[in-house]
Chains A and B, each alone.
Chain A
Amino acid sequence: MAELREKAQLMDSQDLNRVIRRIAHEMVEHNKGTENMVLVGIHRRGVYIARRLQKLIEEAEGQKVPCGELDITLYRDDLTALAEQPIIHSTRIPVDIAGKHVFLVDDVLFTGRTVRAALEALVDLGRPQIVQLAVIIDRGHRELPIHADICGKKVPTSKNEVIEVKVSELDGKDEVVICERDA
């Protein structure tokens, strides 16, 4: 497998936190308040970003919105094409999502296949009234008709590049970097 080489930093810790704060405000704006709102982070980094959004919304609105985590491993459409067996993580959503306004949260939007799987996983758990998608980075190259309703930053990339959103809970620091695969 080709090695990844870091090419440039797109966001430092402060930039990333500003973007997450803006997304939190946009969510409340889209929802016209916090009523009926549920945050669902897609494993793995989407979960940590969703938890931060929950905290920021609580600080701004004084309301704690429910926040869950969604694993899409069992809904992937490329299981037999993978070299390694994907690991299943937990799916925990603390409330019934039927009739709710669900915000799916992920770090990077790329082909759209993860979001497709997440939508399928979500409707198996209940029938939300609306589902919206919030991501930190949209790097393009969509293979499905999916778009982000709230996006931190659009970054045009080549297919040889990879965007890494790092969160301190998992990676020890907050930043967004663009990496390139060595030929």
Chain B
Amino acid sequence: MTWRHRSVIDVDDWTREEFLFFLDQSRHMENVMDRPVKKVPALRGKMCVNLFFENSTRTRVSFELAEKMLSADVVNWSVSGSSTAKGETMRDTAWTLEAMGADIVVMRHGAVGAAQYLASKLKHGIVLNAGDGTHAHPTQALLDVYTAWKHFGSLEGRKIALVGDVLHSRVARSDVIAFKTMGCEVVLSGPPTLMPREVECLGVTYERDARKAVEDADMVYLLRIQRERQQDGLFPSVDEYHRWWGADEELMKLAKPGALAMHPGPINRGVEIASEVADGHQSVILEQVRSGVATRMALLYLCGGGAR
């Protein structure tokens, strides 16, 4: 199969065949993580720049580990103290990175479309979107699908309930696209104030009651509640949120036996997820973290290889 993606801004144009190919490649990358020498020379001589305009320790570290395991040279460029903070435009940043010889730029930005814009300004460099505003988080979707695929094999006909703050969640949007492409039934749940309008346009169903949403689900995906947004009054209180939409053992019992409890991290214990679930036998949260490194390795390798 010919890999046609260079920059990856989202997974909305990926076919199911491409997902399956990618999952298989990620599996082989995960094997590298188990070797005594956790390093292969696949991207030796390539320069990766991790350009993070928003803080994100785990995504940045995950990308950095993936880049280092593939032997790429890594530069971490954070906005604080950089020329961007001094007023440099993103276009100038892009051209600066290219002049310095960056081959792959991993970017997180608070603005929707920032990664797409950067990709349009780079002549040769590849852009991997590590999250742009409320738009997309493709690598999170890939690691989520990979984690589920490892557990279930085929995802065709599986049901996933995404519960929480869908309105502000780029994870939810990319996950909906990815899981639907893989043939899953997707049900969203959460406070109506944290739900996009006309959510059915995404080809999903909305169920206000989390108990009904998770009924017979194979996967229960808890989205992070950003406590800072609580001040906007989008739901009455953290306690009340937990009571209605937080995952505890009682809620998980309504899903299928053996259903996976998933979360993009970092977790708010006692808010969207109770410790008994986060640390319980159904939790695959740490597996998701591990999958993140494997899938990012696969993405870096597939996008960074081949003739340009």
Asked whether any CB of chain B lies closer than 8 Å to the CB of A87, the reply is yes
Chain B residues lying within 8 Å of A126, measured Cβ to Cβ, are 36
Kindly state the separation between the CA atoms of A26 and B238 in the bound complex, as whole angstroms.
Answer: 73
How many A-B pairs have beta carbons closer than 8 Å: the answer is 60
The interface size bin for chain A is 20 to 34
Chain B residues lying within 8 Å of A83, measured Cβ to Cβ, are 306-307
Binds B, one of A14-22, A48-56, A72-80, A156-164: A72-80
Kindly state the separation between the CA atoms of A120 and B308 in the bound complex, as whole angstroms.
Answer: 26
Residue of B nearest to A79 (CB): B305
Tell me whether B2 and A84 are in contact (CB under 8 A): yes
Asked whether any CB of chain A lies closer than 8 Å to the CB of B53, the reply is no
Tell me whether B28 and A71 are in contact (CB under 8 A): yes
Chain B residues lying within 8 Å of A75, measured Cβ to Cβ, are 40-42
With A79-B306, A81-B307 as known contacts, state yes or no: A88 contacts B301, CB within 8 Å: yes
Tell me whether B28 and A88 are in contact (CB under 8 A): yes
Chain B residues lying within 8 Å of A120, measured Cβ to Cβ, are 41
Chain A residues lying within 8 Å of B306, measured Cβ to Cβ, are 79-80, 82-85
Tell me whether A85 and B36 are in contact (CB under 8 A): no
With A79-B306, A80-B308, A85-B2 as known contacts, state yes or no: A74 contacts B301, CB within 8 Å: yes
Chain B residues lying within 8 Å of A90, measured Cβ to Cβ, are 28, 31
Asked whether any CB of chain A lies closer than 8 Å to the CB of B302, the reply is yes
Residue of A nearest to B25 (CB): A88
Kindly state the separation between the CA atoms of A122 and B181 in the bound complex, as whole angstroms.
Answer: 38
Kindly state the separation between the CA atoms of A76 and B308 in the bound complex, as whole angstroms.
Answer: 17
Asked whether any CB of chain A lies closer than 8 Å to the CB of B35, the reply is yes
Which of A71, A77, A87, A124 interacts with B37 by CB under 8 Å?
A124
**Nearest Cβ distance between residue B191 and chain A, in whole angstroms?**
43
Chain B residues lying within 8 Å of A73, measured Cβ to Cβ, are 42
Asked whether any CB of chain B lies closer than 8 Å to the CB of A172, the reply is no
Residues of A within 8 A of B (CB): 71, 73-77, 79-91, 120-121, 124-126
**Given pairs A75-B41, A87-B25, A89-B28, 12 additional interface contacts (CB within 8 A):** A74-B301, A77-B41, A79-B304, A80-B305, A80-B308, A83-B306, A83-B307, A85-B2, A85-B3, A90-B28, A91-B28, A91-B31
